[in-house]
Amino acid sequence: MPFSNEGPGPRKLVMMSLMVALSMGLHFVESTLSLSLAVPGVKLGLANIVTLICLYILAPKETLMVVLLRVVMVGLVSGQFFMPVFWISLTGALASFLMMALAKKSARLTPVGVSLLGAAAHNTGQLAMVAFLIGSLKVAYYWPWLMLWAIPMGLLTGFSAKVAIKALRNTGVNVTMNGKE
């Protein structure tokens, strides 16, 4: 079977691999924090920092590949692949990615605004999956609380990503990743 000229080149593959590894690492660091004990389901969303960075330095389809690889790899490494927590994580990650990819198209939104919308979509997607898995919409009472927490978490990830994107652009990464290799 001949090699295809389509798809990301070597530089992008390395960058994407690094982003998958970084997002997995941030996910595992976040899982050690006890924030979710205070409010069930609330997390910092550190892996979404990487998703946001990817949206600004890679193409959307490449960012989606990073997101999907992170969720699958975390599921496999943690032993939760195809378990309810995997589906909840996947739904939140996909909802967040889709919202952020659409929001990024607006010239009016900074990475912080895109992140806020992504955090709200992530929480909404996860809650929708929980409702589906338990077969009840009774969990919807929790949605306003999750939206309240989406604001500080979205700000945290948005400002963190904004700083990282600026630093990466100063190194020329943006030109390398968005241009032809």
Q: What is the CATH number of the domain that holds 86?
A: 1.10.1760.20
Query: Cα separation of 59 and 12, whole Å?
Result: 10
Domain housing 143: 10-178
Residues 50, 21: Cα–Cα separation, whole Å: 10
Among 20, 134, 8, 132, smallest CA distance to 72 is for 20
Quickly count: other Cβ atoms within 10 Å of residue 42's Cβ: 18
- Whether residue 167 is contained in a domain is answered as yes
Helix, strand or coil, per DSSP, at residue 103: helix
Q: Which residues of 130-163 are buried (b: 16+ CB within 10 A; e: fewer)?
A: bbeeeeeeebeebeeebeebbeebbebbbebbbe
Nearest to 160 by CA among 120, 104, 114, 102: 114
CB atoms inside a 10 Å sphere around CB 172? 9
Q: Is residue 174 part of a domain?
A: yes
State how far the Cα of 159 lies from the Cα of 151, in Å rounded to an integer.
12
pLDDT at res. 30: 83
Q: Residue 181: pLDDT above 60? A: no
φ, ψ for residue 40 (rounded to 5)?
-55, 130
Query: Amino acid identity of 29?
Result: V
> How far apart are the C-alpha atoms of 88 and 137, rounded to whole Å?
15
The answer to whether residue 4 is domain-embedded is: no
- Is pLDDT above 50 for 5? yes
Banded model confidence at residue 3, pLDDT cuts 50, 70, 90: very low
Position 155 pLDDT exceeds 50: yes
Within a domain: 20:
yes
Confidence band for 180, pLDDT divided at 50, 70 and 90:
very low
Counting the structural domains of the chain, the total is 1
Helix (H) or strand (E) holding 160: helix 143-170
pTM value? 0.86
Q: Note whether residue 2 is domain-resident.
A: no
